[in-house]
Chains A and B, each alone.
Chain A
Amino acid sequence: MNIIERIRLSIFPGAHKPAEEQKGQRKYFRSLLLHFRPRVVPERTLRFSLTWGLGGMAAVLVFLLFGTGLMLKFVYEPFPDRAYDSILHLQQNIPFGQLIRNIHHWSANGLLVIAFLHFLRVFFTGAFVAPRQFNWIIGLALFAAVILSNFTGYLLPWDQLAFWAITISSSMLEYIPGVGTWLQESVLGGPELGPTTISNFYAIHTAVLPALLLLIMPFHFWRIRKANGLVIPRLPDEETETLGEKVNTIPNLIVREVAVALVLLAVILVISMLFNAPLAAKANPGLSPNPTKAPWYFMGIQEMLLHFHPVFSLFIIPLMLVFGLLCIPYINYQSETAGVWFCSNRGRRMALIAVLTSIAATVTGILADELIIGSVLTGPPDIISSGLVPIVIVLAGCIGFYIFMKKRFGAANNEAVQTLFILLATAFLVLTIIGIWFRGTGMRLMWPW
């Protein structure tokens, strides 16, 4: 055996065997892949309308971000006086520099949207009950890591957009009772944005969070495998026992995943060729632009800040929401709805009502606060009148809605919890949309056109 042949055999053991056994060689290659995938999967879980390929898309975007991020790391300089110039250098002098930055930018923003949609998909198909309970928690941790990655990356260009968005977002930390100031100074490395901030954010963005993602993502995938694959989709009146046939993962699942990945890659490339990642003027600590907005995914919180006392909008409300999300898989549910979109036909009707109620209530609330209450209350925000009173009204509204819907439809608690979830999620989306597009100079309400 010559040396080349020996090397080939060391990589593909069994390649010297006769042709009918050669399948074993391909199997060997597959088995590595199959550590993250079951050997067979229920045929019904292959339906595109179960997952919409969202989890796979998120994974593809993460790897795209690793790749482009690694390239950017060779050019970027994490110092206040050099960061902006290194971005300009990247865009103007380096071949494909602008394109690489665009891919990184659009993948990062796309990842937030895709991960959020994936989160909604998992919730609405009931894929969080046993044995998938803990994977819901892992998923939330991944989502937090994605948000933090986006946030720390937002500062790095050190332009006016980045500087002020991070200034106001990190100032929000200051309102957390007790540890607020300490937390803010730890994040920024001092009382305000400076060289320490950029090196902190750079280290977190390019080392800590990627490492965390690389550790948690395989854990997330492995738990899917341990739960015997995805939740099996079924119609509202179908029995749980009808599992249907199982098919080989290779090629049935893998081919579908590759197809989704390639389409996504094409879409990201086209967007990156058409639209440049934004870059404003170099950061000027003496001049705040008007209006100054947080990164778009925090605009829901910034909008809440206009209506509630900061301790409530930045601490108590987010804390309650996160606690609620962590509780979702551990509630005792009255009926078995895993795999059914929106629980049941009744659940679907309730969901629609919740969406419409939430949009109407949120918009009315914002307008009322802006036009009537806001002009009555003046002076510094008061913990009673702008904190406790509105929060009690909102909470009473949510609880009242929950009880009313449960009684009115004679619903199981699965459907009622889902209705409440939709009510809050829609409200958050409405707040975010208003914050991004309907707030102009001085954060006054205005039309986006």
Chain B
Amino acid sequence: MTNPHPQNNNPEKESASSRRSLLTKLWVLLGIVALAELIGIVFAFLKPNPKKSSAADRAAIIVAGPVDTFQPGTVTAFVRGKFYLVRLEDGGFLALSRSCTHLGCTVPWVAKENKFICPCHSSEFDIRGEVISPPAPRALDLYQIIIENNVLKVDTNKRKKRSEFTAGQITYPKKT
């Protein structure tokens, strides 16, 4: 085309240019679709995707041991599973995540003061994981506890967030 901006009123030419502009719009539309697909693929590719295998699932279930090995009122650290197994005075169990809910630091159990104290910003939690002292906004996360044949297991795949402690979160061993 010699003149990219035709200014005459020839209807034939106008229809030709409107056909051309329609085609251009179609190309742009196709381009947008292609871009959307590309973005979708990139997102799907980058999505966090932990290895899904039955072996990995089994490895995530930590066998803590027979129920009776844990005395009431004690806290046992499991380094491999990154959690604390708490047995409350009434015999109930809680599996607490060791990550502070404030900014993710690892919270040590200070047995002398009977509480978890975060070294990063001095948040404090009681034995049930409940916040005693801020800046932590929520109680420590929970893992699911399974008791089979009086043997206690913790499923570290399932981490549950909670705002505060409620009695329903405690797992009790069957009375024998």
Contacts and interface: CB of A to CB of B under 8 A. Distances in A.
A381 B137 contact: yes
B136 A380 contact: yes
Contact of B122 (A168, A189, A196, A443): A443
Most chain A beta-carbon neighbours within 10 Å: one of B79, B106, B133: B106
A299 B136 CA distance: 18
Interface in A155-212: 164, 167-168, 170-172, 185-186, 188-192, 196
Contacts of A289: 119
A168 B98 CA distance: 14
A380 B137 contact: yes
Contacts of B73: none
Q: For the side of the interface on B, what is the size category? A: 20 to 34
A189 B135 contact: no
A442 B123 CA distance: 9
Interface in B139-173: 159
Most chain A beta-carbon neighbours within 10 Å: one of B79, B103, B133, B135: B103
Contact of B106 (A185, A188, A191, A287): A287
Contact of B121 (A285, A378, A380, A442): A442
A250 interface: no
Given A164-B105, A171-B104, A286-B106, A381 B134 contact: yes
Interface string B15-33: 0000000000000000000
A291 interface: yes
B58 interface: no
A292 interface: yes
A168 B135 contact: no
A290 interface: yes
Nearest to A305: B135
A306 B135 contact: yes
A310 B137 CA distance: 9
Given A171-B104, A289-B119, A291-B120, A190 B48 contact: yes
B85 interface: no
Contacts of B159: 191
Contacts of A291: 119-121
A305 B159 CA distance: 25
Given A170-B104, A379-B131, A380-B134, 10 more contacts: A171-B104, A186-B46, A186-B48, A189-B48, A286-B82, A289-B119, A377-B134, A380-B131, A381-B134, A381-B137
28 contacts: A167-B105, A168-B103, A171-B104, A172-B103, A186-B46, A190-B48, A285-B82, A285-B106, A286-B79, A287-B106, A288-B106, A288-B107, A288-B120, A290-B119, A290-B120, A291-B119, A291-B120, A292-B103, A292-B119, A306-B135, A377-B134, A378-B133, A378-B134, A379-B134, A380-B136, A381-B134, A443-B121, A443-B122
